[in-house]
Structure 1
Amino acid sequence: MSEKKKNKRRSTILKIHKVLGLTTGLVLFIVSITGCLWVFKEEIESFYDDYKYIQPIEKQFISASSIKNIAETILPERTIHGVVYGAPNEAIEVVFYEAEPEIFYQSVFINPYTGDFIKRIDNTAGFFGFILDGHLTLWLPEAIGSRVVSYSILLFLIILISGLFLWWPKSNKNWKQRLQFNWNSKTRWKRKNFDLHTVTGFYISSFGLILAFTGCVMAFNWFYFIAYKATGGDKAPQFIMPNNISKNSVLKEQNPPYDQLIPALSKTYDAAKNFELHYPENDSTAILVEVSNSKGLYYDMDYLFFDQNTLQEIETTSIYGKYKNAKFADKVIRMNYDIHIGAIGGIAGKIIVFLVSLICASLPVSGVLLWYGRTYKKSSNRRYYPSEKKLLPRK
């Protein structure tokens, strides 16, 4: 390819990079800042979550149906999403969730031995509720904000790829300049800003691509489906709630069969961190129990389905079944959220995602300053005399 064509291609890519960066800059800044704050949510909340713990006693937990009745008296006419059973010293958490007409997401904590009410928490309120709202919707109406965020993250993939192309040195002698900060007392702020944008951008680009990719998987159904099929997936990639196998309903009995589930499963899954029981929605749907096998992780959970009348286990054709039955593509999709927040790598992974998100937030800032400096150049401390065809110092 001729030098002229290379320069033209580079100019086109630079224009795309610049336009997309300026268009999505504010959105990417907000999403990145809120994302890095969200990473350590569990660790920060652990400093003030005493209400989640109780004094264990030598007694069986109260039944699932009793928990349901108690919770419904606290939040009547609201929909119970699930009941989380933890360790013997942890309170039971009853999660209420409704998506329409507006999101209702609250938790009620109950003593598992006595049924006493401990505390009610609004999961959409407080500092982290505010942070999550900004991360997902920019604090705009959900229908508008979520779309703006989703497409901005998709464009961020293009911005990162085009940035890598622009970063690539034209000659070998420029490699050192692109890989490290070579500053001294005479280095101007424009040079420093350029290096901050290009050098740091290069080092976090691979992680930035991962964060943007996993974000797109959660944002777009078509992206999710393509990612699953591209990795060799052959199951139903969506969550499927199977129906009962039996015909007769016993939902109105005093002691429904699901009261037996958690005591039985706690013996089978004795190393489980917690169990989340989902009551059957109607006479025909199965019971779902999510078994958490690792603290702070979601990908290796077991999703178990049971006939609500006979407690016979029902197999699912979805990727959301038992983790031991998951294939490579199933695991990749199930790991998506844990990868996105860095939990897949433990505390080290979260620190990496925190730093990458923080640097991603700085890129729109340094990029705007770079654009501004080139577009609105201030006159230098020199004066030009056209007749003499040279620059003379200003007196």
Structure 2
Amino acid sequence: MDRNNKARAPRKKKKSLFSRVVAWLHLWPSIVAGVILVVVALSGTIIVYCDEIMDWTAGEAKYVQVPKQVIRVSSDVLKANVAEKCPGYDISEFVFFKDPKRSVRMRVFSPKGPRLAMVYADPYTGKILKKDGSLQFFFVMAHFHASFLAGKTGGWIVALSTIVFVMSTLTGLVLWWPKKWNKTTRQASFTIKWKARFKRFNYDLHNVYGFYSLIVCFILGTTGLIIFFEPLMDATVKAAGGTTEHLTDILPKEDSLTSRKDIVPLACTILQQSGENEVSIWNFDKKKAGAYVFTSGKVGLKSIEYASVKVYDSYTGKEIHVDQKYLKHEKTENIIWQLHMGQWWGQAGKLSTFLAGIIATSLPITGFLIWWGRRRKKPGSKNREIQKVHQHRAESNM
């Protein structure tokens, strides 16, 4: 072998400043916020199917025997029965159903402490059928997801970590994008090598599943930031053609000298007219409003699918026509919550959000393992690989 023909070590092409900045932004902020992101993503994933789980825990209390003479009891009767059977609790929300076999669902809370439950009542007798405490679990989980139950400080920690998460989705796309598109790069970018060694398998889990979940993860992160930062929510509402004022700000005030109409007949009328199967009304403090705000659609814990808002004067029972800019505000906020909770596109939306949540939970872990594996790489392994290349090239020149 001619010594003069010895192959020199190929110089590795230096990465551009842009590539190095993107790689740094993808790695180090994610490592710092990694544990927080795992907890936030996992708790959010648990909440996705909260409505279905609460429907399941309600059991037989969801349905009642329909009497021959179908007459629904008033909301005052329901309130009195809740006060008797669930002392210490107030009603925060009523949900009425078009199906005559469905019971009335009421969200109740304790003013003395953060205790919540769902109460189911017979709409024809007013009898309390069940008080279901599973709502309390999701209440705690939601606040843990939003702030680690640490108030404003915890909220800021989660918000800053979410900014890192959103940034990671964008930088991750840049790092994932192949320099050349061919059969080999397509296979490596879109498929997982299931029989590969752990390092390669872990890399594929991070790289491939990260790409497939990118859009949903980006939506979850950005909607979370919009919910946390009020100026962002206001800007989103304005962009959608709404006003930053809330609907409750323009409702008529209470008239203490006039008796209110019952909400039950109004709710039934809306169900017949809207074509929706459920209608919700929050049990506003009478000192705040002299109007009823009904929202029909599929009522969830934090948002409503196909939401349609109607406002009625609580003293005359007549519909109040509200300027569209206020309705746009309510609908836009509802859509943001729908996107964040996965309550869009029916069960397909929920499944997509649930799977994206699982992947989002795994990404900081698989990413850390990739970094740790490279960090612990033996110093001599790289040199041995270079020596093999040199030897192969030298022998071919003999």
Q: What TM-score range do you get, normalising by the shorter chain?
A: 0.7 to 0.9
In the TM superposition, what whole-angstrom CA distance separates every residue of 1:212-232 from its partner, at most 9, and x where no partner exists?
122222222122122233x44
State the SS of the aligned residue for 1:302.
strand
State the match for 1:377 in structure 2. Answer: 377
* Corresponding residue to 2:315 among 304, 309, 312: 309
In the TM superposition, what whole-angstrom CA distance separates every residue of 1:120-167 from its partner, at most 9, and x where no partner exists?
2335434x45543443333x3333333322222222111111111222
- Distance change (3 Å), C-alpha of 1:175 and 1:110: same
Match status 1:176 vs 2:200: no
1:33-112 correspondence runs (5 A) = 33-49=42-58, 50-57=60-67, 58-76=69-87, 78-86=89-97, 87-97=99-109, 102-112=113-123
**Offset at 1:118?**
1.7
- Distance change (3 Å), C-alpha of 1:268 and 1:204: closer
Query: What is the TM-score normalised by the length of structure 2?
Result: 0.79
Question: Distance in 2 between the 1:246 and 1:189 partners?
Answer: 66
Question: Distance in 1 between the 2:200 and 2:267 partners?
Answer: 65
More moved, 149-158 vs 37-46: 37-46
In the TM superposition, what whole-angstrom CA distance separates every residue of 1:143-202 from its partner, at most 9, and x where no partner exists?
3333322222222111111111222233446733542347486x4422332222222212
- Distance change (3 Å), C-alpha of 1:34 and 1:234: closer
**Offset at 1:309?**
2.2
1:142-221 correspondence runs (5 A) = 142-172=151-181, 175-176=185-186, 178-181=188-191, 183=193, 187-221=196-230
State the match for 1:8 in structure 2. Answer: 17
State the SS of the aligned residue for 1:269.
helix
Question: Distance in 2 between the 1:382 and 1:266 partners?
Answer: 72
- Distance change (3 Å), C-alpha of 1:193 and 1:248: closer
| Matched residue type, 1:242 | I
In the TM superposition, what whole-angstrom CA distance separates every residue of 1:61-92 from its partner, at most 9, and x where no partner exists?
11122222222333455443222222321222
User: Would the aligned equivalents of 1:272 and 1:291 in 2 still touch at CA under 8 Å?
Assistant: no
State the match for 2:363 in structure 1. Answer: 363
* Corresponding residue to 1:20 among 15, 26, 29: 29
State the SS of the aligned residue for 1:335.
helix
Question: Distance in 2 between the 1:266 and 1:290 partners?
Answer: 8
**Offset at 1:4?**
8.6
Computed over aligned residues only, the root mean square deviation of the Cα atoms, in angstroms, reads 3.5
| Matched residue type, 2:363 | L
| Matched residue type, 1:374 | R
State the match for 1:387 in structure 2. Answer: none
The number of residues matched between the two structures is: 369
Gaps of 5+ in 2: 1-11, 385-389, 392-398
Question: Distance in 2 between the 1:267 and 1:206 partners?
Answer: 35
Query: What is the TM-score normalised by the length of structure 1?
Result: 0.79
- Distance change (3 Å), C-alpha of 1:279 and 1:317: same
Question: Distance in 2 between the 1:343 and 1:103 partners?
Answer: 25
State the SS of the aligned residue for 2:102.
coil
**Offset at 1:48?**
3.6
Identity rate, percent: 24
| Matched residue type, 2:105 | E
